Amino acid sequence: MIRCAAYAPHLGAALGAALMAGALVAFSAGERAPLAEKTAPQAGIVLAEQHLDGPALPGPHTAPHVTAAPQITPSPLPAPDAADPAAAPTGPMLAVIIDDVGLDRAAAERLMEMPVTLAILPYAAGAPELAQAANSAGREVFVHLPMEPGGVDDPGPFALSRSQDARAIAARVRWAFTRVPGASGFNNHMGSGFTADRAAMDAVFAALAGQEGQLVFVDSLTGPRSVAARAGSDAGFAALRRDVFLDVERSDAAISARLDEALEMALARGHAVTIGHPYPETLSVLERLEERAAARGVRLVSVSTLAGALEARPPS
């Protein structure tokens, strides 16, 4: 089921790109999108501009010189949902991802107290420190990878674009993972245009070759023509798809109804993946997430735990 969500358009992304700190140190170097395309609040971009300096990442049409790729090391911490990390979870499961984390530190700290996966924007100021803090709190961390939308919305600095060649895409993917240490997977930020391009998605997974058994990909399904999950699966990665967007409509009642929908889907199918954003309304509803899941007999799990459980299940 495809649903839409929108953030208020952010300003200053170009300026943020020009001032991004050490963005590629590891490498020398009218129409709105129809579905779930969202941009980051201006305040977060300003924060990044104030705290980051150094050489800017090459522009969207520049193929940067890529030297040896850094080792991407997922967090060794056990998933927060399992008392025994070796025990495969059973029964209906729900994984909750919160996107666009990193632009509001207070919201991120609240999320660290909830059984959710934090999808961190790599261009956010302090993204590495935030990722490390989340890992230390036992929370799963994802890279929220900016990708080209199908419309004119701005995905923020250093987004992947269909106009880039494979080397440029690889440089940006690897850079993003260096900004979110300990990430156990990634999902797309915007990207209805990019995720519909099989060659572009193949380049993303090629950049992560060797990490197939460690990284999980979740297709946020921001567009109806996405081939992202199929590309990930064909490349040997555990690849899931988003089932429900929590906060298309930003009201407590609407978000609560979407959460109920996700829980019911988990009960009916055995599992579900839902995505929300660090809105005040969403955080308010999620304060009772554990209580509501327990009342329905649904187990809250990390995305990597869900992926592992699905892989272990016998074919139906």
Cβ contact 176:119 at 8 Å: no
Say if residue 81's pLDDT is above 90. no
pLDDT value for 313: 77
Which one has a higher pLDDT value, 30 or 204? Answer: 204
* Rg of the chain over all Cα atoms, to the nearest angstrom: 18
User: Which DSSP state fits 70?
Assistant: P
Say if residue 123's pLDDT is above 60. yes
pLDDT value for 90: 79
Q: Which residues contact 125 (CB under 8 A, 6 or more apart)?
A: 44, 47, 48, 50, 51, 52, 102
Please give the model's pTM, rounded to 2 decimal places: 0.78
Q: For residue 21, give Cα distances in angstroms to 27, 54, 101, 124, 183.
A: 13, 5, 19, 10, 20
Which one has a higher pLDDT value, 88 or 107? Answer: 107
pLDDT value for 39: 43
Domains with residue ranges and CATH for the chain: 13-57+91-312 (3.20.20.370)
Arithmetic mean of pLDDT over the chain: 81
Strands (E), the chain: 93-101, 117-120, 141-147, 185-190, 216-219, 238-241, 244-245, 271-276, 299-300
Between CA 252 and CA 309 the distance in angstroms is 31
Say if residue 76's pLDDT is above 70. no
Over residues 236-254, the pLDDT tens digits come to: 999 999 999 999 999 999 9
Say if residue 308's pLDDT is above 50. yes
Q: How many other C-beta atoms are found inside a 10 Å radius of the C-beta of residue 312?
A: 9
* Mean per-residue pLDDT, 97-113: 98
Say if residue 74's pLDDT is above 70. no
pLDDT value for 7: 39
Cβ contact 105:130 at 8 Å: yes
List the one residue out of 219, 183, 265, 272 whose CA is nearest residue 36.
219
* Mean per-residue pLDDT, 77-87: 42
Between CA 85 and CA 138 the distance in angstroms is 12
pLDDT value for 87: 54
List the one residue out of 260, 247, 252 whose CA is nearest residue 284.
252
Between CA 24 and CA 109 the distance in angstroms is 27
Instruction: Find the Cα–Cα–Cα–Cα dihedral 309, 311, 313, 316, rounded to 10°.
Output: 130
* Mean per-residue pLDDT, 193-222: 98
* Mean per-residue pLDDT, 24-37: 36
